[in-house]
Structure 1
Amino acid sequence: MPAVLALNIARTTVPVGYAREGATGIDKRPVDGPLEVRAPGAKGTAGSGVAGDAIADVASHGGDHQAVYAYAREDLDWWQAELGTDLRNGRFGENLTTAGIDQTHALVGERWRVGTALLEITAPRIPCRTFAGFLGLTGWVKRFTQVARPGAYLRVLEPGQIAAGDEITVVHRPEHDVTVELFFRAVLTDADLLPRLLDAGDAVPPEVIDLVHKRTAVS
């Protein structure tokens, strides 16, 4: 049964030289739950959807469509073997380290019941210089992009509480074929895929819908 292996937050932001805002909340660590998750508000004015989780760059992270970030333990294990280094739960800045569920091929708009909360997949994680700086890896953004195991952002449709050990139940899968991987490639490596993102409707973050219209003149 798919489950939450670890629930991770950053209790405070940490000053660093590699982050745009001069600080970061990417260093998330496992905590005892449960913690409340809720829709935090519009991007740019709100932070994380997980109670107690600190975010420094609210222009790029957090907000309703990036309320919770999930990454699969299976993908962390794959990277662990590739990089030859230990990757603990939370090392990629994820709020939920999951087990037994394929996020790369999950559908945008797919809904998960986790604990007492209802979450909906909205987008992949887009790598940035803070991510690379935190891991201390040269060429990390390019490498992460090529491999395309980005993890998934989720919005909170029904607030609730989540704890490590909670089962993840897929309660809805939309009829389109817009996967997290397709979304990732459309934005970063294959602009011809961009119009397909509109098939996922309002699960897609508004700024990405605007990007699709701008780049493709689709209306």
Structure 2
Amino acid sequence: METASVLAVCVVHQLLSDEGRLGVTAIDKRPVQGPVKVHRLGLRGDVQADRLDHGGEDQALYAYSQDDADYWTEELGRDIPPGYFGENLRVAGLSATNAVIGERWRIGLDLEVEVTSPRVPCSTFQRRVGEAHWVKRFTEAGRVGTYLRVVKPGTIQAGDHIHRLYVPAHGVTVGKWFADPTVEDADALRDAEADGSIRLQPEYHRMFEKLQAGRLA
């Protein structure tokens, strides 16, 4: 079994002009060499241009798996280098998309992170990739990766091993919640939060309400 590890640590290379609301985007992430400090809001030296929709403690880091990048390399007929999708961490040996919501990883010697939520593709991402109907295509493929919350700050670098410290019993993965959230999934997540085994972002509770309304309709 392949050991889970960090292939690359990526921070913003430059702010790019963008047609969106802010006029700029920080999606252009590229690998850096050597150790990088990680604090509650992410990697030192990284920024999020759109802090309304990106970043914050619940989206401090974005991890994407090499297997998913390889899939897109085949689909698009071009390389998808680390950072190209705006990810901070390109990882191997585990599926970020299939991580269970609330599971915790130790990366390297001291960094501890928690899986929070799927990446939701946006028009900025589509402009970055330059493919027609990219948001729809990325959504349908369901290979979304995961955002991470920093539980214990530390230092990270390429080559660090990733150890799964804790996997919640509810079993709802980031990919399942993104592609096919059900009332049963919502109940499982709600119960897990109630017993203190996970901590959910506010967006989950808004989705719980929508799912419940759909069941009652």
**Higher mean C-alpha deviation, range 176-185 or range 92-101:** 176-185
**8 Å CA contact 1:9, 1:52 repeated in 2:** yes
**8 Å CA contact 2:14, 2:28 repeated in 1:** no
Q: Measure how far apart 1:212 and its partner are.
A: 2.1
2:40 matched residue in structure 1: 39
Q: 1:204 aligns with which of 200, 203, 213?
A: 200
Equivalent position amino acid for 2:47 in 1 = A
Q: Measure how far apart 1:15 and its partner are.
A: 2.0
Q: 1:143 aligns with which of 133, 137, 143?
A: 137
1:101-123 deviation line (CA, Å, top 9, x unaligned): 11222100110001221000000
- The within-5 A match list for 1:167-182 is 167-182=161-176
1:59-101 deviation line (CA, Å, top 9, x unaligned): 0000011000000011101110011111111111100000111
- The within-5 A match list for 1:94-105 is 94-105=87-98
Distance 1:4 1:124 in 2: 19
Q: Measure how far apart 1:207 and its partner are.
A: 2.5
Q: 2:9 aligns with which of 7, 10, 18?
A: 7
| Equivalent residues, number | 206
Distance 1:104 1:54 in 2: 23
Rg bigger for which structure? 2
1:43 matched residue in structure 2: none
Q: Report the secondary structure of 2:97's partner residue.
A: coil
TM-score with structure 2 setting the length: 0.88
2:25 matched residue in structure 1: 24
1:130 matched residue in structure 2: 124
TM-score with structure 1 setting the length: 0.88
Equivalent position amino acid for 1:29 in 2 = R
The alignment's C-alpha RMSD in Å is: 1.8
Equivalent position amino acid for 1:91 in 2 = Y
Distance 1:193 1:29 in 2: 39
Equivalent position amino acid for 1:35 in 2 = V
Q: Report the secondary structure of 1:141's partner residue.
A: helix
Distance 1:193 1:138 in 2: 35
Q: Does 1:195 align with 2:186?
A: yes
Distance 1:192 1:140 in 2: 28
**8 Å CA contact 1:120, 1:203 repeated in 2:** no
Residues 137 and 105 (structure 1 numbering): CA distance in 2 closer, same or farther, change over 3 Å?
same
Uncovered stretches (5+) of structure 1, i.e. residues with no partner: 41-48
Q: 1:85 aligns with which of 69, 78, 81?
A: 78
Q: Report the secondary structure of 2:43's partner residue.
A: coil
**8 Å CA contact 2:105, 2:164 repeated in 1:** yes
Report sequence identity in percent.
45
**8 Å CA contact 2:13, 2:28 repeated in 1:** no
Q: Measure how far apart 1:205 and its partner are.
A: 1.3
1:52 matched residue in structure 2: 45
Distance 1:150 1:169 in 2: 21
**Higher mean C-alpha deviation, range 174-183 or range 151-160:** 174-183
